[in-house]
Amino acid sequence: MNRKSLLLFSMLVCGLVSCNSTSKSTGTAQVVEKMDNCKSDSKNIYEVYIPTRHNTADKLPLLIIIDAHGNGKFALDKFRQGARQYPAILVASDLIKNGFEGYEAAIHALIDDVRQKYPVSETIYLTGFSGGARMALSYALTHQLNGLIMCGALASPDQIQAVHCPVISISGTDDFNFMETAQYLFDEHSTPANLKIELTNASHNWPDSILLTNTWGFLSMSGKTVGTPSLSLSEFKIYCQHQHTRINVLRQQGDYLKATLLAHNMASTLPFNNDKTFAATYQALSTNAAYINQLKQLQKCLQYEISMRQPYIEDFQTKDTLWWKKEIDTTDKKIKTEQNTYVNDMYRRIKGFWGIACYSLCKQAISQRNAEALDKILAIYRMLEPENPDMFYFSAFPSYWAGNNEATLSKLQQALKAGFSDRNQLKNDFPETTSEKL
């Protein structure tokens, strides 16, 4: 063997040894499930879930989860199935929530802390629900991410385009925030290329874990980067077949709107668009008379809903509780009896809009310490959402302002029993009343 051949042979052997050493298993890493906090800020608490890894040397993509109410454990549970099926490290904040100032710095500190402690690759995804989705978007506008899942909230085309990563929106058709998504359903050409939309009937809640698993699979497979575990060809084919099945089921159920959006997502995204049947399915669905008719029905309902929002805001100031009781009862009856899906969803969105309006008007009255205005809105709020924990919480303010500690404690206990969980806010708002009794 001459010198040149010997050199080439040596380089080949060294390369094989190197590849073998980097892929050699160092044992199975068991599931990690714990609560942790940032070294730089002990108040920045978060939940961690790491699925089983067959090689302890493997690094996994990171999915940061922001819940609107700071309930990290609840939100993380929604993604467990997805993290097991499409391996990822899940981290959900217990600190960041609606109204939290400095959330961008807190998210950044969270990511830095997780990178130091856990086997995270360079691939970072972010997701959030409602206000959490808005915070996730805001962070993505100034930081590089590999993908973003927005649930229960969306944004303008300019903002979506300014996020230099894929954005998936999951929106409930009966969610009061659905207007933010609906703008993209009527003109495909004006929809940002990086935006994909899934519709559900989750109202204003986190989607169920089945849909989140499917969405996470879509994002993780369409955004493969260095250091991300690869799925086998058979796993990829199974995923595509599952989407074909979903499309067919939706079509059989007569839900052409959801079926068409799903087909469009698959037909317009690598590597799924290598399956040309998705494009053919989308073409057939988008020109189907039933789909066109459903879009027209949706547009008509949205136009009516938009025309009613401002008058309803004025009605909170001008109409008495008897008028509101009749309006609420009539709408509840329509929700129970209306057979047309699009009209039914419209009434649910209207009722949801009333709820968020009551919440905002209560906050405004509290900031102004206006007991009369607060009592008036609370009377409507109680009829509208009688078990709402925020309603019970806001109800404690008039008695607190009047110095009635017994009544204040009773309302706060009701709020806690109904699900109000922000003890820090409670201590700040009611420092003289908060005690061992709560």
Q: How would DSSP label each residue in 377-425?
A: HHHHHHHH-TT-HHHHHHHHHHHHHTT-HHHHHHHHHHHHHHT---HHH
* Average of per-residue pLDDT across 3-14: 37
pLDDT digits (tens, 9 = 90+) for 315-349: 999 999 999 999 999 999 999 999 999 999 999 99
CA atoms within 13 A on the CB side of 393: 24
How many CB atoms are closer than 10 A to CB 346?
Answer: 25
Could you tell me whether strands 41-50 and 89-93 are parallel, antiparallel, or unpaired per DSSP bridges? antiparallel
pLDDT band, very low/low/confident/very high, at 11 (cuts 50, 70, 90) = very low
pLDDT digits (tens, 9 = 90+) for 121-155: 999 999 999 999 999 999 999 999 999 999 999 99
Pick 19 or 155 by higher pLDDT: 155
- What pLDDT shows up at residue 27? 80
pLDDT digits (tens, 9 = 90+) for 249-307: 999 999 999 999 999 999 999 999 999 999 999 999 999 999 999 999 999 999 999 99
- What pLDDT shows up at residue 337? 98
**In this structure, what token pair is assigned to residue 62?**
């990171």
What's the 3-state SS for 127-190? EEECHHHHHHHHHHHHCCCCEEEEECCCCCHHHHHHCCCCEEEEEECCCCCCHHHHCCCCCHHH
pLDDT band, very low/low/confident/very high, at 423 (cuts 50, 70, 90) = confident
Q: At what angle do helices 371-384 and 321-337 cross, to 10 degrees?
A: 20
In the predicted model, is pLDDT for residue 3 greater than 60? no
Pick 359 or 55 by higher pLDDT: 359
pLDDT digits (tens, 9 = 90+) for 167-184: 999 999 999 999 999 999
pLDDT band, very low/low/confident/very high, at 188 (cuts 50, 70, 90) = confident
In the predicted model, is pLDDT for residue 22 greater than 90? no
Enumerate the domain spans of the chain: 32-227, 232-287, 304-429
Which amino acid, one-letter code, is at 287?
Answer: T
Mean of per-residue pLDDT scores for the chain: 91
pLDDT band, very low/low/confident/very high, at 231 (cuts 50, 70, 90) = low
DSSP class of 368: T
Please give the model's pTM, rounded to 2 decimal places.
Answer: 0.89
- What pLDDT shows up at residue 18? 36
CB 124 within 8 Å of CB 59: no
pLDDT digits (tens, 9 = 90+) for 65-111: 999 999 999 999 999 999 999 999 999 999 999 989 999 999 999 99
CATH class in words for 304-429 = mainly alpha
What is the distance between the alpha carbons of residues 256 and 183, in angstroms, rounded to a whole number? 18
CB 62 within 8 Å of CB 89: yes
- Look up the CATH number of domain 32-227: 3.40.50.1820
Using the CB atoms, write b or e for 292-310: b if 16+ within 10 Å: eebbeebeebbeebeeeee
pLDDT band, very low/low/confident/very high, at 17 (cuts 50, 70, 90) = very low
Kind plus residue range of the DSSP H or E element containing 360: helix 341-367
pLDDT band, very low/low/confident/very high, at 26 (cuts 50, 70, 90) = low
pLDDT digits (tens, 9 = 90+) for 336-387: 999 999 999 999 999 999 999 999 999 999 999 999 999 999 999 999 999 9
